[in-house]
């Protein structure tokens, strides 16, 4: 007899059932993108209002992104304790509260603190949304559904640009930009109330009666055949918790394959660093070149709008040309487009074209990067391997706006700054080319997966363990130094 989890994962897809959860979860992802993009539009306005230096303006994005990094870590654990549905809603309430307070900030330090706290709330949306959408999605379509969530990102950034541009003529425009986000956040909170708790979560927590109610309702609403099923007894989690659990995850992914893990971390860190630097600073850069607020904001909005097409093209190409080729070509060329932009930024047509090219190519690379890194690890390490690579990039990109505005741009100038960032991307994809395998068309847990060295990481790990066991059990031991 099948389990309740298997029933849920084999249900047919229905837009009025799982599709509703996908849309509401995607709107949470849209809010995450909207809020990060808002940092770039706020920076020049706050610089004028509070008379800030370039370095001080960078703290706007840094405070918010660091808060999101904290929230992403904290809310993932909270969701495992209180449930997806509650965490799903509480994150938006925290975001809405501190966004309202941020719009009323009397001083810049108070504003930074409130942006950090708003980030803590919204930062929980990504892990919670992915968990909830994934646990309701049919197994047959789960990969495509989770990949499609990426399309909400450029939509959120583009929407932010359009709304922010429309508010430029208002007195206290930056305050209105923050306050306006509250109403849709509260509406999304109200919509989320109708989403049931994840039956897989309920099963894992031993709440059988509640799990059966949700599963039976899903079966009825999707029109799936009714069949008996069992709810297995929850397996007690006796593994390490907290810091010890994180340390164990870290040891596991590095012992699996140092090459693959180093590739994953370097790709995430460099590609996302370039993207967030451009997203956060583009309006300020264009303002420094003498463009008006409207022109600077609309050029940045164009970058994200073209990115929507980039995501769709990436989805179509990733299984045709392969992950490595798509990342290896689009990421360095996107960085080169920024270097060219920095050189021709005083030419209105040239700057607009290069910004658009960057937006398109960046969104070719990022969805492919997400798919690639998740496929590099076996099932038992996939979540932790992807999560650690993403967390490293979040931590790095959180301080990137501050470093960009206070050190790189003032000291090196824009062309050389973007060239340095592009060189880092080129080194990362070069290392990927020789150290990690192509995952196109391979089984997720292929034991013969070649990592570029002629043997699989799993085989190497097993051989290392055998060597260690032989060493520990060998009756003959040479003294140290022999």
- 245-260 confidence digits (pLDDT tens): 667 778 888 998 999 9
Cβ contact 370:27 at 8 Å: no
- Closest listed residue to residue 414, CA positions, set 347, 345, 353, 348: 345
**pLDDT (tens digit per residue) in 125-147:** 766 676 678 778 887 777 677 66
pLDDT band at residue 239 under the 50/70/90 scheme: low
Within 51-195, residue ranges assigned H as helices are: 54-82, 84-103, 108-123, 125-136, 142-148, 152-166, 173-180, 182-192
Contact 154, 311 (CB under 8 A): yes
* pLDDT tier at 339, thresholds 50, 70, 90: very high
Q: How confident is the model at residue 457 (pLDDT cuts 50, 70, 90)?
A: very low
State the pLDDT at residue 426. Answer: 97
Q: What is the pLDDT of residue 151?
A: 82
pLDDT grade, residue 474 (50/70/90)?
very low
Model pLDDT, residue 128: 67
Q: Which of 342, 280, 284 is nearest to 54 (CA)?
A: 284
Chain-centroid distance, C-alpha 131: 13
Q: Identify which has the larger pLDDT, 363 or 243.
A: 363
pLDDT given for residue 88 in this prediction: 66
Q: How far apart are CA 93 and CA 347, in angstroms?
A: 44
Residues 6+ apart with CB under 8 A from 251: none
The pLDDT of residue 480: 29
Written as one string, the DSSP assignment of 233-255 is PPPP--S--HHHHHHHHHHHHHH
**What is the gyration radius of the CA atoms in the chain, in angstroms?**
24
Q: What are residue 3's DSSP bridge partners?
A: 230
Helix or strand or coil: residue 3? Answer: strand
466: helix, strand or coil: helix
Q: What is the pLDDT of residues 59-106, one digit of tens each?
A: 888 888 888 878 776 776 676 677 767 776 787 788 888 888 999 999
Mean pLDDT (the chain, rounded): 81
Q: Is it the case that residue 467 has pLDDT exceeding 70?
A: no
pLDDT at 44 over 70: yes
What angle do helix axes 18-50 and 258-288 make, rounded to 10 degrees? 50
Higher pLDDT, 475 or 108: 108
End-to-end CA distance of the chain: 61
In this predicted structure, what is the pLDDT of residue 459?
A: 46
155 to each of 71, 152, 158, 281, how far by Cα in Å? 22, 5, 5, 19
Domains observed in the chain: 1-232 (1.20.1250.20), 244-470 (1.20.1250.20)
Q: Which residue, chain included where needed, has tokens 């847990």?
A: 445
* Mean pLDDT of all residues in 105-127: 86
Give the CA count within 13 Å in the CB-facing half-sphere of 100.
Answer: 10
436 DSSP assignment: S
Question: Which of the pair, 352 or 249, is modelled with greater confidence?
Answer: 352
Residue 469 has a pLDDT of 39
Beta bridge partners of 205: none
Q: What is the mean pLDDT of residues 448-452?
A: 49
pLDDT in tens, 277-307: 888 888 888 888 777 878 888 888 988 899 9
Calpha distance 266→381 (Å, rounded): 18
**Phi first, then psi: what are they for 229, rounded to 5°?**
-150, 165
Cα–Cα distance for residue pair 464/471, rounded to 1 Å: 10
Please tell me the distance from the alpha carbon of residue 482 to that of residue 350, in angstroms, as a whole number.
Answer: 66
pLDDT of 438 higher than 70: yes
Tokens of 445: 């847990």
**Chain center to CA of 270:** 14
Extract the tokens encoding 134: 């994934």
pLDDT of residue 460 exceeding 50, the answer is no
Q: How confident is the model at residue 329 (pLDDT cuts 50, 70, 90)?
A: very high
Whose tokens are 């303006």? That residue is 57
Q: What are phi and psi of 178, to 5 degrees?
A: -75, -45
Cα 287 from Cα 283, distance rounded (Å): 6
Contact (CB, 8 A) for 24 and 189: no
**Structural contact between residues 362 and 275, judged by C-beta atoms closer than 8 angstroms:** yes
Q: What is the DSSP letter of 441?
A: T
**What is the C-alpha separation between 303 and 157, in angstroms, rounded?**
9
Query: Of how many residues is the chain composed?
Result: 482
∠ at Cα 61 (57, 66), nearest 5°?
135
Task: Look up residue 217 and give its two tokens.
Answer: 């309702």
Considering only residues 54 and 468, tell me which one the structure prediction assigns the higher pLDDT.
54
pTM for this predicted structure:
0.77
Q: Residue 479's pLDDT is what?
A: 28
pLDDT over 70 percentage in the chain: 84
Vertex 71: Cα angle to 362 and 185 (nearest 5): 80
Structural contact between residues 220 and 191, judged by C-beta atoms closer than 8 angstroms: no
- Which of 12-21, 22-31, 190-199 tops mean pLDDT? 12-21
CB under 8 Å to 244, separation ≥6 — which residues? none
Specify whether the CB–CB gap between 71 and 120 falls below 8 A. Answer: yes
């Amino acid at each position: 007899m099948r389990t309740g989890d298997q029933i849920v994962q084999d249900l047919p897809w229905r837009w009025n059932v799982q599709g509703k959860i996908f849309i509401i979860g995607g709107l949470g992802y849209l809010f995450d993108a909207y809020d990060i993009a808002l940092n770039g539009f706020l920076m020049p306005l706050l610089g004028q209002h509070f008379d800030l230096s370039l370095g001080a303006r960078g703290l706007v994005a840094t405070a918010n992104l660091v808060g999101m990094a904290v929230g992403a870590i904290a809310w993932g654990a909270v969701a495992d304790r209180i449930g997806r549905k509650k965490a799903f809603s509480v994150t938006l309430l925290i975001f809405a509260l501190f966004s309202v307070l941020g719009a009323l900030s009397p001083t810049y330090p108070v504003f930074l603190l409130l942006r950090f706290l708003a980030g803590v709330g919204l930062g929980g949306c990504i892990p919670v949304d992915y968990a909830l959408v994934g646990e309701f999605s049919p197994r047959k379509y789960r990969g495509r559904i989770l990949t499609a969530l990426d399309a909400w990102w450029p939509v959120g950034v583009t929407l932010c640009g359009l709304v922010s541009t429309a508010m430029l003529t208002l007195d206290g425009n930056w305050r209105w930009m923050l306050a306006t986000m509250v109403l849709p956040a509260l509406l999304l909170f109200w919509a989320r109330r109708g989403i049931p708790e994840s039956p897989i979560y309920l099963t894992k927590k031993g709440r059988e009666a509640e799990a059966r109610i949700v599963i039976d309702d899903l079966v009825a609403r999707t029109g799936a055949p009714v069949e008996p099923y069992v709810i297995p007894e929850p397996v007690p989690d006796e593994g390490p918790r907290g810091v010890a659990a994180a340390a164990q995850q870290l040891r596991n992914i590095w012992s699996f394959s140092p090459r693959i893990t180093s590739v994953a971390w370097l790709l995430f860190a460099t590609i996302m660093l370039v993207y967030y630097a451009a997203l956060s600073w583009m309006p300020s850069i264009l303002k420094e070149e003498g463009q008006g607020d409207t022109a600077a904001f609309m050029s940045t909005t164009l970058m994200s709008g073209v990115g929507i097409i980039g995501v769709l093209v990436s989805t179509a190409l990733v299984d045709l040309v392969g992950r490595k080729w798509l990342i290896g070509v689009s990421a360095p060329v996107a960085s080169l487009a920024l270097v060219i932009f920095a050189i021709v930024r005083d030419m209105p047509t040239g700057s607009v074209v290069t910004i658009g090219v960057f937006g398109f190519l960046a969104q070719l690379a990022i969805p492919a990067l997400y798919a690639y890194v998740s496929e590099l690890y076996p099932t038992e390490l996939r979540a932790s391997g992807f999560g650690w690579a993403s967390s490293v990039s979040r931590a790095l990109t959180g301080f990137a706006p501050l470093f960009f505005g206070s050190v790189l741009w003032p000291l090196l100038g824009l062309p050389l700054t973007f060239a340095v960032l592009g060189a880092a991307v080129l080194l990362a994809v070069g290392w990927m080319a020789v150290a990690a395998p192509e995952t196109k068309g391979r089984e997720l847990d292929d034991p013969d997966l070649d990592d570029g060295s002629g043997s699989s990481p799993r085989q190497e790990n097993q051989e290392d363990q055998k060597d260690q066991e032989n060493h520990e059990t060998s009756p003959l031991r040479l003294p140290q130094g022999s």
